[in-house]
Structures are given as C-alpha cells and as structure tokens.
A and B are shown apart, each in its own frame.
Chain A
Amino acid sequence: MLDTFKKKKLQDLPFGKDDVGTRFVTLVIIMMTALATLALGGAEIILSLRGTWVDAINGQITIEIPAVNPDGKIRSAEELNTLAHDIDSGTQMNGADIKQIQRLSRQQVAELIEPWIGPDTGNRDLPLPVLVALTFDENPTQERIEQITKTVHEIDPAAIVETHQTWLDDLRRFSGVLLMASVFMAFAVIACCILCVSGAVKSQLASHQADIDLLHLMGATDDYIGAQFVRVVATDVGRAAMLGVLIGIVFLKIGGVIAGGLQAAMIPGFSWSLPVWLSFLSLPLIVTSLCFVAARVTVLQTLEKMP
C-alpha cells in the first residue's frame, strides 16, 4: 500500500507514456537538443578556427620586395638579395621588439603561389618576389608599423608592407557571422522546444479537462494541478534532452574523426576543454528549465480561465 501511495503521489492525472503527444514531444526534444548541440559544437569549432588563424597571423608583418622595380624592369637575383639584406639589417637595427626575421626561400615563395601558377615554379626561370616575414613579440602598434614601413621604403620604395590586417578583419567578421548564426540556431531550437512543450501541455490540458474539473471541485489549487503537469514535463524533457545532447556529441565526434582524416593543419582538433564540455552538459539543464517554466506558465494561465 505504501508503494502504491508513493508511486502515485503526484500522478492524479493519467499522463500516458504511450500518448501520441508525449511521444511526439519527446522525439522533437531529442532532435532539437541534438541540433542545438551541433550548433554549439559548430560555434566552438568556429571559435577555435578563428583563434588558430588569428594566432598564426597576429604579430606578423610580411615585407614583399617585388620582382620588378618601379620602372617595370625585372630585378636580378643579386639586386633582390641586396635589397632583402638591407631590409633585414634596417629593420633589425631599430627592432628591439622583433622576435624573428625570416627570409622565405625561393622554394617557399614558389610553394605559396603554386595554386595560382602551377607546380615547379621554383625550378623555372620565373621572376619571383622576395618575402621577408617579421615576427614581433607583441602585435605591433600603428606607429610601429608606420616606422617599419618608412624604413623599408627608404631602402626600396616599391616594397610592400603587409600587416594582414584587412584579411584578419574579414576573418573576424566572417567568423563572427558564423558564430552568431550558430548561437541563433541554438536559441531557435531551444525556442522550438519551448513552443512544442507549451503546445503539448495545452493539448494535455484539453484532453484531461474532465479530470482537472474533478480535481478543482475537490478544492485542488492550480498549483497542485500544475505541479503534476510540470513534473511530467520536467522528467520527459530532461530525459529527451540528455539523449539529444548525447546524440549531438556522437555526431560531432564522428565529424571530428572524419575531419581528422583530412590532414588539414588549419582545422583544430575536436578535443574539447572543460568549459566546452560544461556548455554541452548544461544544455539539457537549460532546455529542461526553460520547458519547465513554459509548461508552468501555460498550465497556470489555462487553469486560471477555468471556473
């Protein structure tokens, strides 16, 4: 008898587990939280990519000594070497903050432009620019860049000082848009969960109208009746959300394995830090809490309209 009492403690209303509405909502919650997990995982990947790329470029300036001089005459290898040497020395002389000056070899330059003019460029007798990469201790200020530019132009007025700032700005903007889209998607699917739960609760309220009336006639308060709905919603949504997150994580891991096979050095690994894991694990909690609130508000608003 005690077991009977405990088991039925808050189940005065017949919420069937095989109810079509319940099954539908459970499936929707599973799919939606899986999608939200993918969206969050996507956002994390975008953040990692941006971090990797920005770190790789930040604090670097590339000086390009063109293969032709301002008169349009092709520079000889000796002339280019002299200019590069002068620039090395010139920048080094006033560069206590410069960590490294690296002159790219003809072969390295050829590899960089290979996608545009084809393989084996280095072995052909093509005029190639000379690239000098300066790595700073910290990201140089605008004044510092202007100073470097002035020094370089005194040596070779045709030389180009590239700070990659435009590219970095574009990258930041683009990744920002992707990040916003991912976060928006996560919010949208959570909102969808809430709407589904709210609709399902309304439908359950309608289908249990007679029983609810009976409970009201016995003096049950809206809170008493609402608690029964909310408890069922919290349990069902909680389980479904956890399963959804698990499915999402599995998909992300599979994606990571596939991406790992691409040998793409610029793509970050799929190993997540503790905060990322926590964000995934908090997703069921957030979805359940929001659905809990939505269910409670819906139930209480509907019950309030009853006599």
Chain B
Amino acid sequence: MIKFENVGLRYHGGPEVLTDISFTLDQGSFHFLHGPSGSGKTSLMKLLYLAHLPTRGLVSMFGHDVNAVERQQRMQMRQRIGVVFQDFRLLPHLSAFDNVALPLRIAGKRPAEVRTAVKEILEWVGLADHMKSSPTFLSGGQQQRVAIARAVIGKPKLLLADEPTGNLDDTIGYRIMSLFEQLNKMGTTIVIATHNQQMMDHFNHPRLSLDKGHLNVLPPTNKAQLMAAR
C-alpha cells in the first residue's frame, strides 16, 4: 500500500534530513517508528501524511506516485490518512465535538451521520461529558484523546500517530493502543512514532528505526527472548 524507494528529503536546498529511505507498508500492517531526537522521525511522518513531497526517490501511496498525482487527488488521498499530531493541533475556537467532526464534514458526510459517529467516538475515548468544551479548557490528556478521536473517526486506511500516548496515564494509554489494535485488525495500516520502549515491547510490532536520517526496518521483538534477556 505504501512504498518508499531511495527517498531523500531536504528542506530549501539544505542537507538531506532523510537519506535513501526504502521500506514497504502492507495494508493492515502495524509499525512503530522510533529513533533519537533529530533522527528525522517528524520528516518521515510528514512525507507519510503528504505534508511534504520527497526531494528524490519514489513514494507510492495507495497505488499512486505522490509526485505525479494532481493536487486534487492528493487531497483525496489525505482524506484516507488519519494523523495524531504530537502537539494535537486542535482548533481552539471549536468544541471537542466540532474538532472531532471536522474530517467527516470535510468528507461531506451527512450531519446526522456525523453526529452519531462523533458522539460514539467521544464516548469511547471517555469524553462524552466534554463534547461542548473548548480544547482550551481540557487537560493535556483530554486534548490528546480528542486528537486521537479526530484521527480515527473517518476510519482511515492509514493512521499516523506521533507520541499518541505521551500525555496519557497508563490505563488510558493502553486503552488507546487497544483502539489502534482494533482499527489495525479491521485493515487500517498504522504507524506510531514513539519513544515509549515499554509500549513497543508490549505490543510487539515491527519497528522503523531511524538514526541520522537513515532507516532500518526491524522485525518484531521475540517476547520470549525479551523475557530471557531480562
């Protein structure tokens, strides 16, 4: 579904922040993306959610070369991608309900359909009582849950999350990860950028490991080996 071949990315003619990135994400796969700060995780995520186009190499998503598609088609491709940003990027003038409803409205869904879906997802992330609240009056954890609800409400084909459980307590964090697992089982391809080693070990998915702009694809850690090493 997603294929990167010798992809390079540089900003405004500067040095390459990503070099010779090659990997494939099959439909329904689940990957963690990790690496130290400055390794290029955010840049890779931006390529994945089409905020940037590669400077060189081939990025193919949903069967299309992203450099070759028309702008309009790129917008349609973006509707199939859900993103949880590290800084949430909620619109403060809109209520939690309206923030979550945005992707459906953009997709042109009927109001009744939007209402039902938004209520359902907000109840699921435990924010049924905060539907009308502005994000400004929500805690960091609550804002993160709104951001997650917004990313998954459109049942995206690809879900990208940047530190999605960073501000959540363990219970909520694992509940959210379980939601991602459920979505994954329903066929959604998921990439989660995280520093949370415990989380990566617990959910045991292949890892995209970035270091100084270079990528290694690591297989899932064998849980038995892991336990033995400990």
A residues within 8 Å of B by Cβ? Answer: 1-2, 4-6, 8-9, 11-12, 14, 210-211, 213-222, 224, 304, 307
> How distant is the Cα of A245 from the Cα of B93 in the complex, in angstroms?
33
With contact pairs A216-B75, A218-B78, A307-B53 given, residues A12 and B103 touching in the complex (Cβ less than 8 Å): no
Interface size class of B (residues with CB under 8 A): 35 or more
With contact pairs A5-B115, A224-B106, A304-B71 given, residues A211 and B78 touching in the complex (Cβ less than 8 Å): no
**Residues 79-94 of chain B, each 1 if its beta carbon lies under 8 Å from chain A, else 0:** 1110100000101111
With an 8 A cutoff between CB atoms, is B51 at the interface?
yes
Indicate if the CB atoms of A218 and B71 lie closer than 8 Å. Answer: no
> How distant is the Cα of A11 from the Cα of B93 in the complex, in angstroms?
9
With contact pairs A2-B115, A4-B98 given, residues A214 and B72 touching in the complex (Cβ less than 8 Å): no
Q: How far is the CB of A244 from chain B (nearest CB, A)?
A: 29
With contact pairs A224-B106, A307-B52 given, residues A219 and B95 touching in the complex (Cβ less than 8 Å): no
Residues in B with CB closer than 8 Å to A14 are 91-93
Indicate if the CB atoms of B72 and A221 lie closer than 8 Å. Answer: yes
Closest to A2 in B: B115
**Residues 130-151 of chain B, each 1 if its beta carbon lies under 8 Å from chain A, else 0:** 0110000000000000000000
> How distant is the Cα of A1 from the Cα of B91 in the complex, in angstroms?
18
With an 8 A cutoff between CB atoms, is B76 at the interface?
yes
Residues in B with CB closer than 8 Å to A221 are 72, 75
With an 8 A cutoff between CB atoms, is B126 at the interface?
no
Closest to B77 in A: A219
With an 8 A cutoff between CB atoms, is B111 at the interface?
yes
Residues in B with CB closer than 8 Å to A12 are 91, 94, 98, 102, 105
Indicate if the CB atoms of A217 and B49 lie closer than 8 Å. Answer: yes
Residues in A with CB closer than 8 Å to B95 are 4, 8
8 A-B pairs in the complex with CB atoms less than 8 angstroms apart: A1-B132, A8-B98, A216-B78, A217-B83, A218-B79, A218-B106, A219-B107, A307-B53
Number of A-B contacts (CB under 8 A): 71
> Which of A11, A210, A219, A222 sits near B103, CB closer than 8 Å?
A219
With an 8 A cutoff between CB atoms, is B121 at the interface?
no
With an 8 A cutoff between CB atoms, is B101 at the interface?
yes
> Which of A5, A210, A224 sits near B111, CB closer than 8 Å?
A5
Closest to A213 in B: B51
> How distant is the Cα of A4 from the Cα of B100 in the complex, in angstroms?
13
Residues in B with CB closer than 8 Å to A8 are 94-95, 98
Residues in B with CB closer than 8 Å to A11 are 93
With an 8 A cutoff between CB atoms, is B97 at the interface?
yes
Indicate if the CB atoms of A219 and B115 lie closer than 8 Å. Answer: no
Indicate if the CB atoms of B91 and A219 lie closer than 8 Å. Answer: no
Closest to B82 in A: A218
Residues in A with CB closer than 8 Å to B210 are none
> How distant is the Cα of A219 from the Cα of B72 in the complex, in angstroms?
9
Residue from the set A4, A213, A218, A222 with the largest chain B CB neighbour count within 10 Å: A218
Residues in B with CB closer than 8 Å to A5 are 97-98, 101, 111, 114-115
Residues in A with CB closer than 8 Å to B107 are 219
- CB-CB contacts below 8 Å: B45-63 with A: 49-53
